[in-house]
């Protein structure tokens, strides 16, 4: 069985595994599971549990890593969220492109010439694609 995760105001800025609902211009936090439950059950079981225990009909049918934000709205407090999974996907996509460029460079003739120059004592003159500058081309 799943254990209930109680969200309080101390959780502002914390990360959760769960679901959200789109409501107007807000992405509202719906519910979440603990990391132990997430690893104990399959993804489909976890998603089914979250859909069944939702207070409204969910508009987002995908598990996400969520950063919780507490926003005062009129006389209520809204629990909004930011999907962190989206940013992870962007970084992974960029890193795959960097690795592809590195593989192409290693298999090129220019790489062999640079290795030979380094053996002879010359400094390495070609910039190898890497982590620095990966996100801003």
The pLDDT tens digits for 22-51 are: 888 888 888 888 888 888 998 889 888 888
Model pLDDT, residue 137: 58
Write the DSSP assignment of 63-124 as a string of letters: -EEEEEEEEEETTEEEEEEEESHHHHHHHHHHHHHHHHHHHHHHTSHHHHHHHHHHHTTPPP
Burial 63-88, CB ≥16 within 10 A → b, else e: bbbbbbbbeeeeeeebbbbebeeeee
Model pLDDT, residue 19: 86
Instruction: Give the tens place of pLDDT for each residue, 83-137.
Output: 888 788 888 888 898 899 888 888 888 888 888 888 888 887 777 777 777 777 5
pLDDT(54) > 80 = yes
- Nearest Cα neighbor of 17 from 92, 76, 84 is 84
For residues 60 and 54, what is the distance between their CA atoms, to the nearest angstrom? 11
Two tokens, residue 18: 């769960």
Note if the pTM is more than 0.85. no
Query: What's the DSSP call for residue 34?
Result: -
Give the containing element (helix H, strand E) for 21: strand 15-23
């Amino acid at each position: 069985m799943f254990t209930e995760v109680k969200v309080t105001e101390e959780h502002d800025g914390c990360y959760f595994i769960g679901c959200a609902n789109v409501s107007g211009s807000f992405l509202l936090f719906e519910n979440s599971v603990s990391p132990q439950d997430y690893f104990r059950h399959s993804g489909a079981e976890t998603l089914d549990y979250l859909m069944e225990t939702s207070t409204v009909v969910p508009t987002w049918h995908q598990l996400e890593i969520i950063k919780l934000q507490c926003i005062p709205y009129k006389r209520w407090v809204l629990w909004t969220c930011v999907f962190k999974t989206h940013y992870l996907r962007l970084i992974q996509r960029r890193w795959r492109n960097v690795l592809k460029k590195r593989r192409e460079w290693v298999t090129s003739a220019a790489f062999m010439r640079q290795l030979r120059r380094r053996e002879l004592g010359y400094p390495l003159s070609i910039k190898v694609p890497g982590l620095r500058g990966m996100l801003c081309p």
